[in-house]
């Protein structure tokens, strides 16, 4: 792991996470439903992945930057499912010749849904879409509001993968972020999920939370290793109180410094690798037999709005408030605010509010950035062949900006490739940033998080 804090200080500026390129902040309202339908008809991809956003949560976690609504009123989900049914009925016809191979539920908290509501949602997928017999069905879960009986019910309904947000197991940290949950309970859920045949369990951790220190975080790491998940996601906390009101409850002086955060992630990488996990991309870990680890070894890793994935050549249809679709060479996003989402669905059956059609330059830069994010390298000759360019000439300005990274010993450039040293992966977002044509548009503002 990276051990040169002076370089982190040098490059520690606000940059995108690059779960897409262009990023969602570059979407515009000129893109509408007609553009979406055209992209769906023109796409050459034969398979389809569905993402559904469930915005409701039963508790307010202060660190969270997701689009969510905190409520205890279960009936709100019924109204939401009514709207989702209309949206699915509108969207499904243009995808009638596609097999749905992946479904992912995010939030919010998908297990806010009652068993009856979850059953209804699953049945809607089968009602409107051609769901594959080999479906990969994944769900994000809040373990603090989850029982073994509910896990068994998810398995019966076809769920194959789950992801649970642990964040930190220390009670002081948990209280500071308003997410108190039993470590023992989470461990029991992981063990039970494996026992009933859930094929993959991911646990989310966050470093940089209030009152985290090396001693406390090492215990969190040990707790998670003892739970033996298949995957671990280790995210950098992005403190953006200008954008997320809940984060205003977290005082800046409670947060660890950049140097302290470096010690936290370094300890995590060391411990997880010693426990047999493979480091994947920027912030994921997986056991060697996991499909994500195999994809990384084989150079087949990809990245989308859910993070690192094995999915490729598959259109992504997002439904629900704020969800994002990636269809052909387009991105689009539904209305974020629930009243706006309902109004658009009532009006037209769909809820696209903004989006973007990628230009040839966008697709080229997307390819380069995703190669770096996934593989820490990009092959110039392969890029030339795919996009009919001369890499060094096309990216002359970007290569000049990379000179600083080369001088600092974190990037190597040869006639055929650009490579990022594995120990410099914490700077990968900054390195990708030199290839971002939109990069100078107010990146210093509160829209993006620091690299560390």
Cβ(325)–Cβ(312) under 8 Å? no
Question: Computed over its alpha carbons, how large is the radius of gyration of the chain?
Answer: 21
183, 136, 147: which is closest to 306 by C-alpha?
136
Question: C-alpha dihedral over 66, 104, 280, 257, to 10 degrees?
Answer: 10
Name the residue among 260, 229, 120, 118 with its Cα closest to residue 165: 229
Cα–Cα distance, 90 to 92 (Å, whole number): 6
DSSP result, 403-422: HHHHHTTSEEE-SSEEEE-G
- Dist CA 423 CA 220 (whole Å): 23
Binding residues for S-adenosyl-L-methionine: 51, 63-65, 107-109, 140, 167, 179, 204, 238, 324
**Known binding residues:** 51, 57, 61, 63-65, 107-109, 140, 167, 179, 204, 238, 324
Nearest of 265, 249, 180, 163 to residue 217 by alpha carbon: 265
Binding residues for [4Fe-4S] cluster: 57, 61, 64
CB 351 within 8 A of CB 334: yes
DSSP-derived 3-state class of residue 305: coil
**What is the DSSP code (8-state) at residue 80?**
H
Q: Which two structure tokens, joined as six digits, stand for 259?
A: 């140097």
Per this entry, what is the length of the chain? 452
Q: Which residue has the tokens 């914490």?
A: 426
Residue 219 to residue 264: CA distance in whole angstroms: 11
- Give the contacts of 55 (CB within 8 A, at least 6 positions apart): 67, 68, 69, 80, 107, 108, 320, 321, 322, 338
d(CA 193, CA 195): 5
Label residue 157 exposed, middle or buried (CB < 10 Å: 0-12, 13-18, 19+). middle
CB–CB of 103/49 below 8 Å? Answer: yes
Please give the helix or strand (H or E) that residue 214 lies within, else none.
helix 214-227
């Amino acid at each position: 792991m990276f051990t040169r804090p002076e370089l982190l200080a040098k490059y520690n500026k606000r940059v995108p996470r690059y779960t897409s390129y262009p990023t969602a902040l570059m979407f515009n309202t000129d893109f509408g439903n007609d553009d979406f339908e055209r992209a769906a008809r023109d796409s050459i991809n034969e398979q389809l992945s569905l993402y559904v956003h469930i915005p409701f949560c039963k508790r307010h976690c202060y660190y969270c930057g997701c689009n969510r609504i905190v409520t205890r009123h279960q009936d709100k989900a019924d109204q939401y499912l009514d709207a989702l049914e209309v949206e699915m009925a509108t969207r499904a016809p243009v995808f009638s010749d596609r097999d749905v191979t992946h479904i992912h539920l995010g939030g919010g908290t998908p297990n806010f849904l009652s068993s009856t509501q979850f059953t209804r949602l699953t049945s809607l997928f089968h009602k409107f879409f051609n769901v594959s017999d080999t479906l990969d069905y994944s769900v994000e879960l809040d373990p603090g509001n989850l029982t073994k009986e509910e896990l068994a019910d998810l398995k019966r309904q076809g769920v194959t993968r789950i992801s649970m947000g642990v964040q930190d197991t220390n009670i002081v940290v948990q209280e500071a972020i308003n997410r108190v949950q039993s470590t023992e309970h989470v461990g029991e859920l992981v063990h039970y999920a494996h026992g009933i045949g859930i094929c993959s369990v991911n646990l989310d951790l966050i470093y940089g939370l209030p009152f985290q220190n090396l001693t406390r975080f090492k215990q969190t790491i040990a707790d998670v290793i003892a739970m033996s998940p298949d995957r671990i996601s280790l995210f950098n906390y992005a403190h953006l109180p200008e954008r997320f009101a809940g984060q205003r409850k977290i005082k800046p002086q409670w947060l660890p410094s950049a140097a302290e955060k470096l010690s936290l992630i370094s300890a995590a990488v060391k411990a997880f690798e010693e426990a047999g996990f493979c480091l994947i991309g920027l912030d994921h870990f997986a056991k060697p037999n996991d499909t994500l680890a195999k994809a990384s070894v084989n150079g087949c890793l990809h990245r989308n709005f859910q993070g690192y994935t094995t999915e490729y050549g598959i259109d992504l249809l997002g439904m629900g408030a704020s969800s994002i679709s990636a269809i052909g060479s387009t991105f689009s996003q539904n209305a974020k605010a629930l009243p706006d989402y309902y109004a658009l669905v009532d009006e037209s059956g769909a809820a696209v509010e903004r989006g973007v059609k990628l230009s040839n330059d966008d697709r080229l830069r997307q390819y380069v950035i995703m190669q770096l994010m996934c593989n820490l390298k990009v092959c110039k000759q392969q890029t030339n062949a795919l996009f009919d360019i001369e890499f060094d000439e096309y990216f002359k300005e970007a290569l000049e900006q990379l000179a600083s990274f080369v001088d600092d010993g974190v990037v190597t450039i040869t006639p055929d490739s650009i490579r990022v040293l594995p120990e410099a992966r914490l700077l990968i977002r900054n390195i990708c940033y030199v290839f971002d044509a939109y990069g100078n548009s107010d990146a210093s503002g509160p829209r993006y998080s620091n690299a560390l």
